[in-house]
Every structure is written in structure tokens, then in C-alpha cells.
Structure 1
Amino acid sequence: MAYRELEKLHRMHDGYIRAFDLNGHPLLLVQDDGVPRLLINRCPHMDARMDRGQVANGHIRCPVHGIAFSLSSGMAEGPMAHCLKQLETLPLVYQGSGVGVEL
């Protein structure tokens, strides 16, 4: 496996959101409450891109239908949450002053 740096840690802040396309895989790096997370850049509801969503209070909100997903569990919240799949996440790898992913 090969490490691919996505961002320098000093550039990240709460509300940070940035999309990547690595080998045809749409990824989304976000940070909230001091915790960086790596998501698949796709809403499990209707495959909308999440990079135009809002990140705050431990959630990311889909820009298309407004569905809020917990960043810690990936689960949707709200009245229809039980009908939806959860967000897909990937483990982050920290190397030196950067954060990235193993490909």
C-alpha cells in the first residue's frame, strides 16, 4: 500500500471540507470539533456529492435534500433516518505534519 497525503494538519480547521478524486474514488476530507474524518464523497440517499454540504456540530448536511449525517457514526438523523444507509468512511493515516490515506 502507498501513503497519499491529502492535507497538512496546520491547514485544517473546524468546518474544513475538501473533495479529492483518487484513482476514480470520490473522497471528502472534513474536520469538525478538532477531528479530521475521511468520507466517501457521496450521499447514501441519492448519490449526491457532499462537498457542498455544511459541516458543523458533529454532522454533515447533504446539500441536495438537507439530510444530516453524524460524522462519528455515519448514521442519518431525522424522521426518515431508519430508511437510509450510513455514510461510508475510510481510516486516516497521520505521517509527519500531514494527514492522508493508504491506497
Structure 2
Amino acid sequence: MAYRALEKIINLYDGYCRPFQVDGRPLLLIQDGNRPYLLLNRCPHMDARMDNASLDAGNIRCPVHGIQFNLESGVAVGPLASCLKQLQKLPLVYEGGTVGVDL
């Protein structure tokens, strides 16, 4: 595994949302409620990119279909929850004032 820095921790803020491409994988680093999350940059519903998604009280809303997902659990919110796959989250790694990923 190799560490890849994505962002300086000091640059993160609530509402931060930035896409990255690491080893051919589309990733999305976001922060909501003073907590950063690293997601695969795709909606589990139909693979829509999530980098234009809106964040609201611990949820992320797909900009294409409007489906909300809980950031903590990855589970869809609402009547479709049992029909949809979860968001794919990746563990964040902190190193030397940066946040990144081991892939």
C-alpha cells in the first residue's frame, strides 16, 4: 500500500467537496459536521458523479437523481433505502498535516 496525500488538513472546512483521481479510481473528499469523509465518486444508484452533490446535516444528495445518503452509514435515506446499494467509503489516513488514502 502507498500513501497518497489528498489535501492539507488546514484546508478542510464544512462544505469542502473535491474530486480526485487516484490509481484510476474516482474519489471524493468531503467534509460535513467537522468530519472528513472519503467516498468513491459515484452514486450507487446509476454511477452519477457526486462532486456536485449537496451536503445537509450528515447527508449527501446525488445531484442527478436527488437520492440522499447518510455519510456515516452510507445507507440511502427514504423509501428507496432498502433497494439501493450503499455509498462506498474509504478509510482516511492522516500523515504530516495531510489527509489521504492508502491504495
**CA–CA distance in structure 2, aligned partners of residues 71 and 45 of structure 1:** 15
**CA–CA distance in structure 1, aligned partners of residues 70 and 91 of structure 2:** 16
2:86 paired residue number: 86
Give the match's secondary structure for 2:101.
strand
1:53 paired residue number: 53
What amino acid does structure 1 have at the position aligned with 2:102? E
1:7 paired residue number: 7
Stretches of structure 2 that go unaligned for 5 or more consecutive residues are: none
2:39 paired residue number: 39
What amino acid does structure 1 have at the position aligned with 2:99? V
Give the match's secondary structure for 1:52.
coil
TM-score by length of structure 1 reads 0.97
Q: Would the aligned equivalents of 1:54 and 1:62 in 2 still touch at CA under 8 Å?
A: yes
RMSD: 0.7
Q: Would the aligned equivalents of 1:53 and 1:60 in 2 still touch at CA under 8 Å?
A: yes
Identity %: 63
What amino acid does structure 2 have at the position aligned with 1:59? N
Give the match's secondary structure for 1:101.
strand
2:69 paired residue number: 69
Give the match's secondary structure for 2:85.
coil
CA positional deviation for 1:79: 1.2
CA positional deviation for 1:56: 2.2
**CA–CA distance in structure 2, aligned partners of residues 80 and 60 of structure 1:** 15
**CA–CA distance in structure 1, aligned partners of residues 64 and 72 of structure 2:** 21
